[in-house]
A and B are shown apart, each in its own frame.
Chain A
C-alpha cells in the first residue's frame, strides 16, 4: 500500500511537471496568450509565497514569520542583494521567536 501511494504521488506529480513542458510545444497559442504565461507563473509563485508567509495549516501563522518575510520583501524591493534578503528574513523571524513573539 505504501509503495502504491508513493508511486501514485510521484507519477502524478511528474505528469503535471512534464505535461506543462510538453504542452507548451503542442498547443498553438497566440502570442498574446504566450505572453501571459510568465505572468501566470509569477502570480502562482507570489500567491505561494504570501500564503506561506501568512498561514500554517490553513490558519494564521503568527506574527514572527510574516514580519521576517516583510523585512525581506522591503529589502528586495530596495534592491538589496539576494543573500541579504534571505538572511534578514530568517534572522528577523528567529529573533522575534527568541523574544517569544508567536
Chain B
C-alpha cells in the first residue's frame, strides 16, 4: 500500500506542477483582461474548470456574460457522465458526495479510472482531487500576484495535459472494445470540432458507444 501511495504521488507531481503553471497563467490573463481579483479567485475556486474559466474570461472581457455562462455550461456538461461512472468512488456519505463532486475534474477522474475499483480507486480520486485543487488555486493566486506568468506553451505544457490523460487511460484502452469506442469517439470529436461550439464535440464522442450494441457483428470477424 505504501508503494501504491508513493507511485500515486509521484505520478501526480508533474500534473500538479503543470496545473500550478497553467493556473498562474490563468490568473495573469484574467487580471490582464481587467477581471477583479475576487472574481479571478472565485472562478478558480468555485467554478474550478480550466477550459470553461479561460473561455469565460474571454467572453466576459468581450462584454458577453450570457454567452460566457452558456458556453461554460456546454463545456462542463461532460462532468455528468463522469459522476455516473465514478460516483461510488467519490463516496457513499453525503459530505463526501458534496465535496468530492466539486473536485471531479478530467484529471481527477482519469487518475481514478486508472486504478482498479475499490479502496485504491477511492484513494486515487481523493488524493488527485485535493492536490490538483490546491495546485490550480495556488497557481491562480501566484498569477494574480505576479500579474504576468511565463507562457505555458513555451514549456510544452499544452502537450503535457493530453499526454497525461492518455497515459492514465492506457490501462482501460488495452481492452479492445473500450479502445474501439475511444478511437471512434475521438474521431467524431475531432471532425466536428471546427463545426460546433466548444464542448459539444466531446459530448458527441458518446455516439461511439453505439459500437457496444453490435457485438455480434464484430465477433463474427476473425481477429
Interface residues, chain A, with chain B CB atoms under 8 Å away? 1-6, 8-10, 12-14, 16-25, 36-55, 58-59, 61, 64-65, 68-69, 71-73, 75-77, 79, 82-83, 85-95, 97
Contact with A along B70-104 (1 / 0, CB 8 A): 00110011111111111110100000011011101
CB distance from A29 to the nearest CB of B (A): 9
CB distance from B79 to the nearest CB of A (A): 4
| A21 with B101: CB separation less than 8 A | yes
Selected contact of A90 from candidates B47, B160, B204, CB within 8 Å: B160
Chain B: CB-nearest residue to A57: B198
How many angstroms between the C-alpha atoms of A19 and B157 in the bound complex? 31
Interface residues, chain B, with chain A CB atoms under 8 Å away? 10-11, 13-15, 18, 35-36, 39, 42-43, 46-49, 52, 56, 60, 65, 68-69, 72-73, 76-88, 90, 97-98, 100-102, 104, 106, 109-110, 113, 153-170, 172-173, 177-178, 181-183, 185-186, 188-190, 193-194, 198, 201-206, 208-209, 212
Selected contact of B159 from candidates A22, A69, A82, A83, CB within 8 Å: A69
| A93 with B158: CB separation less than 8 A | yes
CB distance from B59 to the nearest CB of A (A): 9
| B87 with A20: CB separation less than 8 A | yes
| B153 with A43: CB separation less than 8 A | no
CB distance from B120 to the nearest CB of A (A): 15
Selected contact of A46 from candidates B13, B42, B43, B173, CB within 8 Å: B173
| In the complex, chain A residues whose CB is within 8 Å of the CB of B165 | 45-46, 48-49, 52
| A21 with B14: CB separation less than 8 A | no
| B106 with A45: CB separation less than 8 A | yes
Selected contact of B166 from candidates A76, A79, A88, CB within 8 Å: A76
| A50 with B162: CB separation less than 8 A | yes
CB distance from A73 to the nearest CB of B (A): 5
Top 3 nearest A-B pairs by Cβ distance?
Answer: A20-B83, A72-B163, A93-B156
| B190 with A50: CB separation less than 8 A | yes
CB distance from B145 to the nearest CB of A (A): 20
| B159 with A41: CB separation less than 8 A | no
Chain B: CB-nearest residue to A35: B212
Contact A6:B39 (CB < 8 A) given known A53-B159, A76-B163: yes
Chain B: CB-nearest residue to A98: B154
Selected contact of B81 from candidates A3, A20, A65, A68, CB within 8 Å: A20
| A13 with B73: CB separation less than 8 A | yes
Chain A: CB-nearest residue to B112: A41
| In the complex, chain A residues whose CB is within 8 Å of the CB of B166 | 46, 49, 69, 72-73, 76
